[in-house]
Amino acid sequence: MSNIVAIVGRPNVGKSTFFNRLIQRREAIVDSVSGVTRDRHYGKSDWNGKEFSLIDTGGYVVGSDDEFETEIDKQVELAIDEADAIIFMVDVDSGITPMDEEVAKLLRKIKKPIFLAVNKVDNSSRQADAVEFYSLGLGEFYTIAGINGSGTGELLDALVEALPEKEEEVEVDLPRFAVVGRPNAGKSSFINALIGEERYIVTDIAGTTRDAIDTKYNRFGFEFNLVDTAGIRRKAKVKEDLEFYSVMRSVRAIEHSDVCILILDATRGFDGQVQNIFWLAQRNRKGIVILVNKWDLVEKETNTMKKIEADIRREIEPFTDVPIVFISVLEKQRIFKAIETAVEVYKNRSKKIKTSELNDTLLPLIENYPPPAYKGKFVKIKFITQLPTPQPQFAFFCNLPQYVREPYKRFLENKLREKFDFNGVPVSVYMRKK
């Protein structure tokens, strides 16, 4: 479990520039995942070997100035609630504004590490101007220039120093299924339909994170932990429709699970907020099952189901190998089918394929369809192996890894899916030097 760091502050102080700088540092090193840009406000970063999840609250605020005030208050409150540390960003150009004071007032009350970052300080005269921010009553501040990165090193050194040590999770053999989705999609009802009225609960384990509730579920030969984001204590102040709220709540549950059961409301469709949660799970390399709930409320014609399914698959390209199950929690339609599917996806995610089998199956295919020549160079793939990671990742050893383009990697991924069934699971393909 990584720590969560939230960047808060009023609009236009440079939160997103700073956020992008931190995310790219990591993206560039680890992997460039397609679909990354679709979820602009959540990312993983690391500094000095310590990894953390970063949330840019700025991307969620829309509307006029008065709306800004209330939205920002809501978000700061939620960030205070959910994050392990908070970076409060202000801007030396405009000095201290009433909105900054408002945010500082909320932050002074709390016991978490808070880092006051004064942005746009790119010369010594501005360094002197920054002194006025002492009056916000948050102690020391860090002067940075998000645009060129000066000063961010000191800020990040202090930040990772202050992040609480996360206990290494005790490996439990039981799969963990997180039930996620936007508010009112039917998450609570789904969980109640599984365990509620019949109370087939073996134990209630307080989640390792302080909010996601784990329920051990054992029935029909399935045994797993359900991580319920729906039951997380609701803040009366946080409006249900706030996109930020759903994503923030889902972050912990998703990072904390093996398979995400993403529930969406058939009458609302696969909208932006649901997509955000989908890409969150995909980027965290979790298994995914999509449940289209309230199917009983949809006007049906002959091809309605096919059409909705095709629409969803179009939105989640290129990762379309995901099971979609149409359910009605109210009518108890296909609920156990949904759980069966999640168990299958879990098995796919933990599947290990023998090196000999991989090479015997794929090398002949690769010989017939080798990577296209690039700049007159021919790539020869000699050997394939599965990496020892919790989710499926494969290394293809070849003479010129840098010349293998994205489309060919996708071709290899599709062949892996076709031959070994990784339905519902993100698969990573890496090219390595032989």
360 is in an annotated binding site: no
230 a known binding residue? yes
State yes or no: 12 annotated in a binding site.
Answer: yes
Q: Say whether 373 counts as a known binding-site residue.
A: no
346 annotated to a ligand binding site: no
DSSP state of 14: S
Q: Is 261 annotated as a binding residue?
A: no
Comparing CA positions, the residue from 423, 362, 369, 361 lying closest to residue 392 is 423
Sequence letter at residue 422? F
Which residues are CB-contacts of 15 (< 8 A; sequence separation ≥ 6)?
7, 8, 9, 56, 57, 58, 89
> Using CA atoms, how far apart are residues 292 and 328, in angstroms rounded to an integer?
8
Rounded Cα distance between 70 and 72, Å, is 5
| Stretch (H or E) spanning 240 | none
**Is 423 assigned to a binding site?**
no
Token pair listed for 408: 């060919």
Annotated binding residue at 385? no
183 labeled binding residue: yes
The answer to the question of whether 286 is labelled as a binding residue is no
296 is in an annotated binding site: yes
Q: Does 9 carry a binding-site annotation?
A: yes
Residue 125 is labelled as binding a ligand: no
Q: Is 16 annotated as a binding residue?
A: yes
- Flag whether 295 is marked binding: yes
The reply to whether 57 sits in an annotated binding site is: yes
Annotated binding residue 151: no
- Write the DSSP string, 342-408: HHHHHHHHT----HHHHHHHHHHHHHHSPPPPBTTB---EEEEEE-SSSS-EEEEEES-GGG--HHH
368 assigned ligand-binding residue: no
15 is in an annotated binding site: yes
Any known ligand binding at 56? yes
The verdict on whether residue 232 carries a ligand-binding annotation is yes
Q: Is 11 annotated as a binding residue?
A: yes
424 appears as a binding residue in the annotation: no
Residue 96 class from Cβ within 10 Å (0-12 exposed, 13-18 middle, 19+ buried)? middle
Cα angle 184-186-187, degrees, rounded to a multiple of 5: 105
Does residue 321 contact residue 423 with C-beta atoms inside 8 Å? yes
Question: Is 364 part of any known ligand binding site?
Answer: no
Q: Is 185 annotated as a binding residue?
A: yes
Which contiguous run of DSSP H or E holds residue 213?
A: strand 213-219
Q: Does 426 carry a binding-site annotation?
A: no
> 61 among the known binding-site residues?
no
- Give the gyration radius of the chain's Cα atoms: 24
H or E, element range at 64: none
Check whether 123 is labelled as a binding-site residue: no
- Binding-site annotation, residues: 9-16, 56-60, 119-122, 181-188, 228-232, 293-296
- Binding-site annotation, residues for GTP: 9-16, 56-60, 119-122, 181-188, 228-232, 293-296
